[in-house]
């Protein structure tokens, strides 16, 4: 009897003795019979030992939603199933064995006294998190440590892979993948960055994933950035908050001239209305200013900086329009007047800090 003629159960047992995803993939590609029998096993292996990294490939290609669901099922299984060292190389097997022993020691010391979530205690025991990082008030980690999937015992790399896959799905307009990820538990409000209205501060990055990954923009901002009205409405229906984070969807929509997106966002009373209106004024776009006001933007609250910029630029038609809607220069602070010609940007770039250098000259002798 040939290898491809064996029952699926026997093939899965044979595959369990392979120590890397590359070897399992090579076996899967042998013929069509092995591909049909072991593809699900390969995806489960990826979910358990590579934290679902295959999600990124599956989301980028349409028609792979069944594979996405299989990987998500594998992640669900992996959160409660211990790692089998038989399926790993000796080096990785030793690492998981050491992690399990450290976890038992950590839990035995604090199991009775600690009020922390069991999942977080487990990650502390494995060295994935230090106690100093368990600060949910830090904007760079708040959405990570309070993520519902993390509280359901999914690990941090798996959670970040799911959130990154959601952003990739938005970028590729893969609506079926987005729907599957949202149903599984991906958050529409997730960003490893500052909240709106909070000052910028330095932070130390950490590579949770097995590969280098830049911090993604919030899902709603990404949808506006890529100009997909259908996805923007979907995220807003699912509870996306357009005024939670520093990156401003409204500012980006005005910058791109997307009036359909502007109408959808203004229905949710987004912030950065002052910056968006000022941007339209600085660019001398009378029709955009008129559209913003007709769509619900309040000039009496957010039009003062735009009015001052219009006066300084000499745009009489825009100045008259803003005054008719209640804007006044008297309500503008001196600090805002000083930066009237500066575009506030969409919030994705951190502010630039200039280091001051003090040049000292040698002391002068009074006798000279």
Q: What is the pLDDT of residues 112-125, one digit of tens each?
A: 334 444 455 555 55
Q: Which residues contact 311 (CB under 8 A, 6 or more apart)?
A: 319, 329
Q: Which residues contact 367 (CB under 8 A, 6 or more apart)?
A: none
Say if residues 345 and 250 touch (Cβ distance below 8 Å).
Answer: no
pLDDT tens profile 94-115 = 444 444 444 444 444 444 334 4
User: What is the pTM (predicted TM-score) of this model?
Assistant: 0.78
Rounded to whole angstroms, how far apart are CA atoms 237 and 220? 11
Q: Would you list the domain boundaries of the chain?
A: 273-360
Higher pLDDT, 316 or 62: 316
Q: Does residue 319 have a pLDDT over 50?
A: yes
The label of the residue with tokens 């009020």 reads 115
**Percentage of the chain exceeding pLDDT 70:** 73
Question: Which DSSP category does 246 fall into?
Answer: S
pLDDT tens profile 14-46 = 888 888 888 888 989 988 888 888 999 998 888
pLDDT at 349: 62
Flag the least confident range among 9-13, 55-59, 176-180, 345-349: 345-349
Total Cβ atoms within 10 A of residue 159: 27
Q: Report, as an integer, the average pLDDT of 327-332.
A: 85
pLDDT at 341: 82
307-343 residues labelled b (16+ CB within 10 A) or e (exposed): bbbbbebebeebbebbbebebeeeebeeeeeeebeee
Q: Which residues contact 29 (CB under 8 A, 6 or more apart)?
A: 35
Confidence bin at 245 (pLDDT 50/70/90): confident
Task: With CA atoms as reference, report the closest residue to 236 among 252, 221, 217.
Answer: 221
Question: Which DSSP category does 214 fall into?
Answer: P
pLDDT at 99: 46
Say if residues 323 and 192 touch (Cβ distance below 8 Å).
Answer: no
């Amino acid at each position: 009897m040939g290898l491809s003629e064996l029952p699926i159960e026997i093939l899965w047992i044979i595959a369990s003795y392979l120590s890397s995803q590359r070897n399992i993939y090579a076996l899967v590609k042998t013929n069509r019979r092995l591909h049909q029998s072991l593809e699900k096993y390969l995806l489960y292996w990826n979910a358990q030992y590579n934290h679902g990294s295959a999600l990124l490939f599956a989301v980028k290609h349409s028609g792979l939603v069944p594979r996405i669901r299989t990987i998500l099922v594998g992640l669900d299984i992996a959160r409660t199933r211990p790692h089998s060292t038989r399926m790993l190389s000796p080096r990785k097997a030793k690492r998981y064995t050491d992690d399990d022993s450290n976890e038992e020691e950590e839990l035995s010391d604090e199991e009775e006294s600690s009020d922390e979530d069991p999942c977080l205690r487990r990650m502390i025991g494995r060295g994935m998190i230090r106690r100093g990082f368990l600060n949910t008030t830090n904007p760079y980690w708040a959405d990570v440590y309070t993520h519902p999937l993390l509280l359901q015992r999914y690990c941090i790399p798996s959670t970040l892979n799911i959130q990154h896959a959601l952003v990739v799905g938005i970028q590729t307009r893969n609506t079926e993948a987005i729907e599957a990820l949202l149903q599984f538990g991906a958050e529409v409000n997730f960003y490893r960055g500052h909240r709106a209205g909070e000052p910028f501060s330095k932070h130390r990055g950490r590579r949770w994933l097995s590969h280098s990954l830049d911090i993604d923009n919030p899902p709603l901002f990404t949808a506006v950035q890529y100009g997909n009205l259908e996805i923007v409405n979907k995220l807003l229906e699912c509870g996306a908050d357009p005024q939670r984070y520093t990156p401003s969807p409204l500012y980006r929509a005005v910058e791109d001239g997307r009036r359909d997106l502007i109408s959808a966002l203004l229905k949710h009373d987004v912030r950065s209305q002052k910056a968006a209106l000022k941007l339209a004024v600085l660019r001398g776009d009378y029709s955009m200013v008129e559209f913003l006001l007709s769509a619900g933007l309040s000039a009496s609250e957010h039009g003062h900086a735009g009015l001052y910029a219009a006066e300084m630029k000499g745009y009489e038609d825009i100045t008259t329009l803003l005054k008719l809607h209640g804007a006044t220069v008297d309500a503008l602070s001196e600090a805002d007047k000083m930066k009237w010609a500066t575009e506030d940007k969409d919030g994705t770039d951190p502010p630039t800090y200039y280091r001051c250098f003090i040049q000292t000259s040698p002391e002068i002798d009074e006798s000279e």
